[in-house]
């Protein structure tokens, strides 16, 4: 599993010209899933996401977490995170999990992240054409791959 985490002062997701998710301070998390992913990847990433000390403290040092600042989350499924560009100029998405594998993992990720955060999170819609709007605060953008945890 791979995530791109962006610290935001605001973010939203629009599908078919309708806003389906909107937050102020928090994180926009883009999630890419591969066939080999499992609950242990979900558990590890969700703990990392809520505990990453990437919000400023009273001294403007990145030293507080999403939990500390009581921030919100928008989670967006994004298969293109696993694009391969080794051959040619057209990305291959063969590594990305197909919906029959990815959807249950995506749903489990939502439940686990909500449990770790202690409140509901907002989401896009799996497989939908989404317009994601954000104001990246910092900017702070972090990429984490659950397969690189050692």
Active site residues: 78-80
CB neighbours (10 Å) of residue 65? 15
Q: Rg (Cα) of the chain, in Å, rounded?
A: 15
The Cα–Cα gap between 95 and 83 comes to 7
Closest CA to 1 of 44, 39, 33: 33
The Cα–Cα gap between 12 and 19 comes to 7
CB neighbours (10 Å) of residue 26? 24
The Cα–Cα gap between 108 and 60 comes to 34
* Coil/strand/helix, residue 123: strand
């Amino acid at each position: 599993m791979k995530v791109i985490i962006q610290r935001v002062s605001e973010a939203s997701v629009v599908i078919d010209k309708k806003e389906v998710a909107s937050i102020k301070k928090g994180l926009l998390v883009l999630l890419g899933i591969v066939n080999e992913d499992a609950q242990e990847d979900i558990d590890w990433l969700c703990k990392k996401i809520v505990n990453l000390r990437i919000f400023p403290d009273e001294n403007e040092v990145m030293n507080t977490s999403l939990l500390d600042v009581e921030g919100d989350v928008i989670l967006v499924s994004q298969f293109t995170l696993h694009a391969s560009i080794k051959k040619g100029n057209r990305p291959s998405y063969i590594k990305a999990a197909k919906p029959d594998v990815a959807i249950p993992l995506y749903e489990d990720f939502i439940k686990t992240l909500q449990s770790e955060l202690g409140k509901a999170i907002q989401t896009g819609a799996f497989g939908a054409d989404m317009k994601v709007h954000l104001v990246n605060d910092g900017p702070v953008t972090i990429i984490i791959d659950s397969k690189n945890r050692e």
